[in-house]
Amino acid sequence: MSNVTEYKNFINGQWVASKSGQTYENRNPANTDQIIGLFQQSVAADATAAIEAASAAFKKWRLVPAPKRGEILYNVAKRLFDNKEELSSDMTREMGKVIKETRGDVQEAIDMTFYMAGEGRRLFGITTPSELANKFNMTIRQPLGVCSFIAPWNFPMAIPAWKMMPALICGNTIVIKPSEHTPLSVVNLMKACHEEGVPPGVINMVTGDGPVLGPALITDPRVKIVSFTGSTRTGRIVSEACAKNFKHACLEMGGKNVEIVMDDANLELAVDGALWGAFGTTGQRCTATSRLVCHKDVIEKFTSMIVERAKKLQVGNGLDEATDMGPIINQKQLDNVMKYIEIGKSEGARLQTGGERLTGGEYDKGYFVQPTVFTDVTADMRIWKEEIFGPVLSIVSCSSLDEAINLANDTVYGLSASIYTQDVNSAYTAMRDINTGIFYVNAPTIGAETHLPFGGTKETGNGHREAGTAALDVFSEWKSIYVDFSGKLQRAQIDTE
């Protein structure tokens, strides 16, 4: 135990222990013998101290010119870029996904940070004519104040950066609670921000459990907005708690994303896309492909191609460059995935490959499961309807584009969808008629870039988007300003002659 590092909370520019005096162990999901570190088991009073610091720091930070805030973010991005390899291997150790993907995760944080650094010199509002003479109209974005962030474990650095960077460039201050399973990546992000000059109190972090810290982070009157990524069930609780005091809530929740493969699709490409979409990040993305609608004329061929490829995927420790798919994050999620595999079997779906927990040797130390493909799935099955968040793909047959679109839309979620076809008319029809926030043509359901809005319709979100300039709308409020230099009273809508 002696060489296990203890990581502290970050409050008001200081690394401090929790008032609870307690820590918890975080272990590597690929090898639970390895302890990543000891992290603070924080209590509500820690969250309150962090909110206090953020609230005090807001008074100055909101007045720092946005281009100056951007310069700091630019340096943070550069620092992340310089340390990318180390940050990625820390992330693979704590989260499990393969090193190629954790490099992508860190890169996504870098992209978002550079992007928002640039926004420091834009943050455009509008100037527009007045209906009255000698009057000037314009809009500016004003920050909200303290933002609470409740972050997930599947993108340990990218998603915290999606939330933090737009909030900071707009002039807000923040308190973040990383997932209890992936706090190290947020510790690393805090360190980079602090050492590159983000002032004390502007960013704060408390580690620990959601049920303990959530209420304080949501209900404190100084918190103006809560940004949450996680399950629809928890998102509903966050939303209801925010509604009481009209706090803004930005919610990014579940998905049940579909890839459509039409009879004219390039099947090799469609298989590549489905494998990456379904088994990348071990299926633990909100955007993961968990449903596949395949045209009946090619379903047999497509199924045999994907099953053959799925069988060849190397499952193991993500630090090994040869590994294709890492472990599931923890025992609870593994149990959940195994439960859904059993449900699929008992509902009468045909298990084409996978379906087992991997055991023996190194596998016994982690939470490994085989890439799993079900066929003969029907739209009333739970494996077709419910979010699994694991490497389980369900394939359904269709006989027309219309039917494929109806199946795609037959879900409570609306995050991402994709179509593989060579027909431009089919592509555009699906693009228009599938009700999701993200849509891909001849590409998998995963792979969003940071300068486009990210989020979903229906029970995936509550109308907001992360990333892109849409994120600025979440973390600022418009102020419309009218300057009258006529020297007399001019009444809008009345004195317009």
Catalytic residue positions, numbered: 252, 286
- In 308-410, DSSP assigns E strands to 350-353, 372-375, 392-398
| Residue 337: strand, helix, or coil | helix
**Cβ 21 vs Cβ 6: under 8 Å:** no
Region binding ligand UN1 by CB under 6 A among candidate stretches 89-97, 285-293, 305-313, 423-431: 285-293
Which CB, 67 or 447, lies closer to ligand UN1?
Answer: 447
Which CB, 431 or 452, lies closer to ligand UN1?
Answer: 452
- Assigned token pair, 275: 């494998």
**Residue 322: Cβ-neighbour burial (10 angstroms; 0-12, 13-18, 19+):** exposed
- Using CB under 6 A as the binding rule, whether residue 154 contacts ligand UN1 is answered as yes
Q: Which residue has the tokens 């596949």?
A: 292
- Using CB under 6 A as the binding rule, whether residue 287 contacts ligand UN1 is answered as yes
At residue 263, φ and ψ (nearest 5 deg) are -65, -20
- Using CB under 6 A as the binding rule, whether residue 161 contacts ligand UN1 is answered as no
301 to 72, 261, 399: CA distances (angstroms): 53, 12, 15
Binding residue (CB under 6 A) for ligand UN1 from 39, 155, 228, 367: 155
Helix (H) or strand (E) holding 175: strand 173-177
Which CB, 109 or 198, lies closer to ligand UN1?
Answer: 109
Residues linked to residue 341 through DSSP beta bridges, in sequence order: none
Q: Which residue has the tokens 């807000």?
A: 172
Which CB, 143 or 283, lies closer to ligand UN1?
Answer: 283
Q: What angle do CA 352, 355, 357 make, to 5 degrees?
A: 150
Q: What angle do CA 111, 112, 115 make, to 5 degrees?
A: 85
Which CB, 198 or 446, lies closer to ligand UN1?
Answer: 446
Binding residue (CB under 6 A) for ligand UN1 from 187, 206, 446, 471: 446
For the CB of residue 223, give the shortest distance to ligand UN1 in the complex, in Å. Answer: 24
Which residue from 393, 379, 369 is spatially nearest to 302, judged by alpha carbons?
393
Binding residue (CB under 6 A) for ligand UN1 from 285, 291, 295, 464: 285
Residues linked to residue 205 through DSSP beta bridges, in sequence order: 10, 176
- Using CB under 6 A as the binding rule, whether residue 43 contacts ligand UN1 is answered as no
Count of residues that bind ligand UN1 according to CB under 6 A: 9
- Using CB under 6 A as the binding rule, whether residue 467 contacts ligand UN1 is answered as no
Q: How far is CA 83 from the centre of its chain?
A: 22
Region binding ligand UN1 by CB under 6 A among candidate stretches 17-25, 88-96, 209-217, 445-453: 445-453
Which CB, 154 or 303, lies closer to ligand UN1?
Answer: 154
Which CB, 220 or 387, lies closer to ligand UN1?
Answer: 387
Q: Binding string to ligand UN1 for residues 473 to 492, with x set by CB under 6 A, is what?
A: --------------------
Which CB, 200 or 447, lies closer to ligand UN1?
Answer: 447
Local structure of residue 122 (DSSP, 8 states):
-
Contacting ligand UN1 within 368-427 (CB under 6 A) = none
At residue 460, φ and ψ (nearest 5 deg) are -80, -30
Which CB, 286 or 338, lies closer to ligand UN1?
Answer: 286
Q: State the first-to-last Cα distance of the chain, in angstroms, to the nearest integer.
A: 81
For the CB of residue 477, give the shortest distance to ligand UN1 in the complex, in Å. Answer: 26
Binding residue (CB under 6 A) for ligand UN1 from 67, 215, 447, 453: 447
- Using CB under 6 A as the binding rule, whether residue 48 contacts ligand UN1 is answered as no
- Count of C-beta atoms within a 10 Å radius of residue 345: 14
Q: Which residue has the tokens 């300068």?
A: 451
386 to 254, 343, 394: CA distances (angstroms): 9, 11, 11
| Strands 289-295, 257-261: pairing kind | parallel
- Count of C-beta atoms within a 10 Å radius of residue 486: 12
- Using CB under 6 A as the binding rule, whether residue 169 contacts ligand UN1 is answered as no
Which CB, 7 or 420, lies closer to ligand UN1?
Answer: 420
- Assigned token pair, 470: 């849409």
| Residue 357: strand, helix, or coil | strand
**Residue 386: Cβ-neighbour burial (10 angstroms; 0-12, 13-18, 19+):** middle
List alpha helices for 44-98, DSSP H.
Answer: 44-61, 66-82, 84-95
Q: Binding string to ligand UN1 for residues 289 to 328, with x set by CB under 6 A, is what?
A: ----------------------------------------
| Strands 392-398, 413-414: pairing kind | unpaired
Region binding ligand UN1 by CB under 6 A among candidate stretches 8-16, 204-212, 427-435, 442-450: 442-450
Region binding ligand UN1 by CB under 6 A among candidate stretches 24-32, 211-219, 281-289, 404-412: 281-289
Q: Binding string to ligand UN1 for residues 104 to 143, with x set by CB under 6 A, is what?
A: ----x-----------------------------------
- Using CB under 6 A as the binding rule, whether residue 286 contacts ligand UN1 is answered as yes
Region binding ligand UN1 by CB under 6 A among candidate stretches 69-77, 185-193, 194-202, 440-448: 440-448
Residues that bind ligand UN1 (CB under 6 A): 108, 154-155, 285-287, 446-448
